[in-house]
Chain A
C-alpha cells in the first residue's frame, strides 16, 4: 500500500476549498500570463481581453465596456483605431487554428451596444488634497489624468488647442473616428473629476515654472508635434507639407487645396490617413514607401482599405529630390531601394525616376517640441514628470495610454510616498469555461464597410457589427484566462485525456516536469512508456481550452480556474477604503 503517500493524499483531499483568492502578482505570474493570455500580455495597457470578450459572448456589453474602460480608458475610440497588437498575439491565429479573434471590432461593439450614458468608475482612494497639472490634453495626458483622478487627486489638464483629444481630433480623420465618439469618452474623463482647460498654452504666458509652484506635481504630455522633414534638394518649394499639419488643418475644418496629384511619403499610420483623406478631397493620390509591406506600421486592415479605395502604393522607393518650376513643386524624384540584411533600404544605383505631383505630404514622423520648457527646468525637477509620446517618442495610441497609466502610478507614489497600486492575480475556481468545440467552427466575422460611393470625409467607413454578429465573434475567443490543470494526486494515469485530446501536444505524458523556484515550468521530459510515466500534464501553451480532457477524465482530476490579472488599489489605511 502507498502508506507513505496516503497522509499527503488525504491532507490534500481534506483541504478546504477556497473559491476565490487574490494575491500580488509575481514574476512567475508574468511568465504564466505571457504564455497563456498572449492577447493581454501583448496589450500595452494590459486590457483584460478574455474577460470582456466573454461578457460580450454572454450578451453583456455593459460589463464588457466597463472592463475595457477600467484598463484602456477609451474603449469606443480604441475599438476603432487601435493598432491591435493583441490580435497579432491571439492564440486563435496560430498556425492551424484559423484567424485571430477580431478583438478590436469586438471592443467597439461593446461600446456600440452599451447604454450610451457616461460611465463613472468608483475612485480607488479618498481625496488626497494633492493637485496635479497635466500639460497636453491628448490621449496620454487624459489617460494619466483619469488614473490620477481615480487615485483621489485633483487634476487640471492644460490643452493649448481649443478642444482636448490631441491626435484623436487633429490627426485621425473623421471617417475613421467620428468626433462624437471622442467627445463622449472625454466627457467621461471629466465626469471622473478631471478639469480640462483649453486654449491654455504653457510657455510664454503661463510658464512651466509657475505650474511647478502651484501644483504638487506637473506632467508633461504635450505629444510630438514637431515634424521630421527629410533634407532634400528643393525643400523650399511650395506644395510640400508635413502630413500631420495637413490633417490638423483639415480636421480643424479649414479648407485645404491639394491640387490634382498628391504623393504621400511614408509607411505608417499618418501616411495612410493622409492618403485616404487626400483621395476624399478628389486628388489623384499615391503612397511611396522606401521599405516593403512587412515593414509598414499600419492598423491591420488599412492596407486592404487602401486597395478598396484604389490608392496605389509603391514599395521600396525613396525620395531623392523635389523638382519644381516657378517656386512650386511639379514632380518628385525617387530612387528604387532594396533592403539589406538589417532590413534597411539601400538605394539602387541608376534606378531614379520622377513622378509628376502638385502636393507632397510627408508622413515621415514627428518629435516632441521642447521650446516651451523653461530653461531652468530642462534638466528636470522633482515635481516634473512626462508621459506619452512626449516621453517615449511617437508611438501608438494604446502605448500612449499604457505610458500614461505608468506615469500616473509614478506620480501617485511621489505624492503619497507609497505604492498604492499593485498588480494582483485573482484566481477563481470555475466549473466550466462556457466554450464548446462548436465555437471553433465560427469564422472571423468581417467588418461591414461603407460602399465606395458613400466614402466621403465625415462618413465612417467601418460600420460596426450588429449585435448578433458581435456575440458570435466574441464566442470565438478561446478564453485563455482559464487554467486547466491535472491534479497529480487525483490522476490515475488512465490516459483517457490523452486519447481525447484534439491537438497533438496539448496534453503530454511526462517522465519529469521541471519547474523553477517560483514554480514556473521550465522544461519537461516526455514519457514513452507507461512504466516511466510519472504524470500527465496539460501544456497550456498548446491548450485551446476546449474542455475535451475534462469531459474525458473519469476521476475529476482536472481542475479549472479563472485567472485574472489586474491593477488593484492597496488599502494602506482603512479610512481610505
Chain B
C-alpha cells in the first residue's frame, strides 16, 4: 500500500453522512443516540452543538445582513419560545439563537423557512452567509449594486449547493471601495469600480483569519459584472480541487492562494471558466500587482448617515455585547416599521442599522431609541467592542470574552470624554485563537489565553495585539503583551493612555500610531 496522510474525520463524515438531516426525526431521538459525527454534520444546517450537552446554537442565513421586520419578528418570536428570549448578532451580519433544545431545532428551522430565511449553510464546510457592508443598497458612496450581486450569489445553485468543500468558504461583496466590507479577510472579496461610466469589479481572494491569518491578494483588476458569478463559481471549484482535505488547518482557500500565488490562482480560475465554456474571458484584467488598495472606512462614529437617495437616512443602533432580548428586538422592529422603512440591517460589528428612515423621522426615532435604552453614539469608537461567546458557550474557548467585554465597556466606554478623545478605535475580543471575533484586524485585539500566575498555576487572560486593519493592503495586528483578565482594563487603559500621550496630534489614528512607533517601542512605552 502507498501510505499518505489520511482524510480527516470530518472529510470521512462528509462522504458518509447526508448533511440534510430531518430534524423532526432528530427531535424524537435520545441525545445519546446522536453520534458525535452526526452532531458535527448538523453544522451544515446551521446547527452547532454548544459547550453544554444537548443544547444547540442555530445560525440563520441573511445574505448581505438585511432582514425585513416581518422576518425579524419571526426570529424574535422563536427566540422567545425556544431560545431563552435572546438573539445574538454575529460578525457575519446575521443572527444566532442559543440554548436551543434538541427537540426544538426543527421548530426554529421551519419557523424561519416560513418567512424565507434558511439555516442551510449557516455553518460547516460550505459557502457561508455572503456579507457586504451595512451601507449596501443605500450608502452615499455606493458604486453599482452590491446587494443585487449578493442576492444572486445567495440564490445561485452552483454556489449554494457546494456541500462538501474542503473547509468553510466566505464571500464578501462591497458596495464601494471601503474597508467596511472586510474584503481582505474573506476567501473571496469583490469591490466595485467604475470605469468610463461602466461598473465592473475588482476581485480579491485568499483572505481568512483563524489561528493563522492571511490577507487577501488582488487577483483581477477588472471583472465585468456579467462575469462576477462565473468567477465566484470558478473560485469555489478551484477550492474544491486544490484545497487540502488531509490537514484541516491547511484546508482553507487562503492556503491555496498563498501557495499558488495571485497570478497562478487567477490563471486557474480562467482555465476552469474555459472548461465550462464561459465566454468573453478576455475582458477580465489581471492585477499587475497582488497588493490590494482598499479604501479606509468611510464612516466614523456617525449615528445618522444620509442615504444615497435624498430624503432618507440610515440610523445606527449600538447593541451591547451583540445580545438582543426579545423586548429590545420588538422595540427595534416596531420603530423600524413606524419610523423607518421596515428594514433591519445587521452589521459586522454586531450592531443594527435601520435603513430607509425618512429624514423627518430621524430625530424622533433616535429619541425613541434612547428612551428604550439603546445608544446611538460610539460607533467605530471605544464603546463599539466586538466579542465572541467565549467560554460561556463555545467548546474551543479559553477565556470568557463576554466578561472581558463587560469589564472594558463598564470601565472605559462610559467615559464619553475619554473615548471621544481617543477617536476611532475598534476593540475586538476573541476567546480563542480561532478568532471568531477578529482580534487580528482590530486596533486592539484581545485573544484568550492563560497567563502563569505567582501561585504556581495559571489564570484566564488575554494576549493583546495592536495595529490591525483591513484598509489599504491590510495589516495583521502585532503581539504587544499578555494580561490576566483581572488586569485587562488596566492594560487597555495603559495602552490608550500611552497613545493619547504620544500620538502626533489628535488626527493620528491609533492604527497609524502603531505603525509609526512600531510594536517594540510600544512594548517599551507600556512597561
Contacts and interface: CB of A to CB of B under 8 A. Distances in A.
B3 interface: yes
Contacts of A442: 1, 3
A441 interface: yes
Interface string B131-167: 0000000000000000000000000000000000000
A438 B6 CA distance: 5
Nearest to B454: A4
Interface in A20-44: none
B523 A554 contact: no
Interface string B78-118: 00000000000000000000000000000000000000000
B526 A493 contact: no
Contact of A438 (B5, B432, B483, B523): B5
B482 A496 contact: no
B525 interface: no
Nearest to A2: B482
Contact of B463 (A436, A438, A492): A492
B153 to A, nearest CB: 30
Given A1-B491, A492-B398, A534 B456 contact: yes
A493 B458 contact: yes
A475 B456 CA distance: 42
B3 A439 contact: yes
A533 B458 contact: yes
B104 to A, nearest CB: 28
B249 interface: yes
A533 B449 CA distance: 12
B411 interface: no
A532 B458 CA distance: 6
Contacts of B6: 436-438, 441
Interface string B449-474: 11110001111100100000000000
Contact of A534 (B5, B452, B484, B526): B452
B523 A6 contact: yes
Contacts of A439: 3
Contacts, number: 95
Interface in B391-416: 396, 398
B32 interface: no
Given A1-B490, A492-B449, A554 B433 contact: yes
Contacts of A6: 481-482, 523, 527
Given A6-B523, A436-B4, A439-B3, A1 B482 contact: yes
A371 interface: no
Given A439-B3, A511-B456, A551-B249, A493 B398 contact: yes
B247 interface: yes
Given A1-B491, A511-B457, A492 B3 contact: no
A28 to B, nearest CB: 25
B120 to A, nearest CB: 28
Contact of B398 (A2, A437, A494): A494
A439 B5 CA distance: 8
A437 B248 CA distance: 14
Contacts of A555: 211, 433
A439 B1 CA distance: 10
A533 B212 CA distance: 25
A554 B434 contact: yes
Interface residues of B, number: 39
B494 interface: yes
A472 interface: yes
B458 A531 contact: yes
A532 B484 CA distance: 15
Contacts of B249: 551-552
Contacts of B434: 554
A443 to B, nearest CB: 9
A1 B3 contact: no
B20 interface: no
A527 B490 CA distance: 30
A392 B524 CA distance: 65
Given A1-B481, A436-B5, A472-B1, A554 B432 contact: yes
A343 interface: no
A1 B452 contact: no
B457 A532 contact: yes
A221 to B, nearest CB: 43
Interface string A426-456: 0000000000111101100000000000000
B487 interface: yes
B435 to A, nearest CB: 9
A6 B480 CA distance: 9
A494 B394 CA distance: 13
Nearest to B459: A531
Most buried by B among A1, A438, A527, A555: A1
B490 A437 contact: no
Interface in A508-536: 511-512, 527, 530-534
Contacts of B458: 493, 530-534
Nearest to A493: B450
Nearest to B526: A1
Interface string A6-23: 100110000000000000
Contact of B3 (A10, A441, A551, A554): A441
B457 A5 contact: no
B433 A551 contact: no
Most buried by A among B5, B463, B520: B5
A408 B452 CA distance: 52
A96 interface: no
Interface string B427-461: 00000111000000000000111111000111110
Nearest to A6: B481
Nearest to B431: A494
Contacts of A5: 452, 482
A493 B490 CA distance: 23
A520 B198 CA distance: 71
Contacts of A527: 457
B432 A494 contact: yes
A3 interface: yes
Interface in A466-488: 472, 475
A487 to B, nearest CB: 13
A527 B448 CA distance: 20
A472 B4 CA distance: 11
Given A442-B3, A492-B450, A2 B396 contact: no
Interface string B492-527: 001000000000000000000000000010010011
A511 B452 CA distance: 11
Interface in B338-385: none
Contacts of A2: 451, 481-484
A489 B460 CA distance: 16
A98 to B, nearest CB: 14
Contacts of A3: 481, 527
A161 B491 CA distance: 84
Contact of B433 (A438, A492, A530, A531): A492
Contacts of B527: 3, 6
Nearest to A441: B3
Contacts of A472: 1, 3
Interface string B60-83: 000000000000000000000000
A438 B4 contact: yes
Given A6-B481, A532-B458, 13 more contacts: A3-B481, A436-B4, A436-B5, A438-B5, A439-B3, A494-B396, A494-B433, A494-B448, A494-B449, A496-B433, A530-B450, A531-B459, A534-B452
Interface of B: 1, 3-6, 211-212, 247-249, 396, 398, 432-434, 447-452, 456-460, 463, 481-484, 487, 490-491, 494, 520, 523, 526-527
30 contacts: A1-B487, A1-B491, A1-B526, A3-B527, A5-B452, A6-B481, A6-B527, A10-B520, A436-B4, A436-B5, A437-B5, A437-B6, A441-B1, A472-B3, A492-B447, A493-B458, A494-B432, A495-B398, A496-B433, A512-B456, A527-B457, A530-B458, A530-B460, A531-B457, A534-B456, A534-B457, A551-B247, A554-B211, A554-B212, A555-B211
Closest 3 CB pairs of A and B: A554-B433, A554-B211, A493-B450
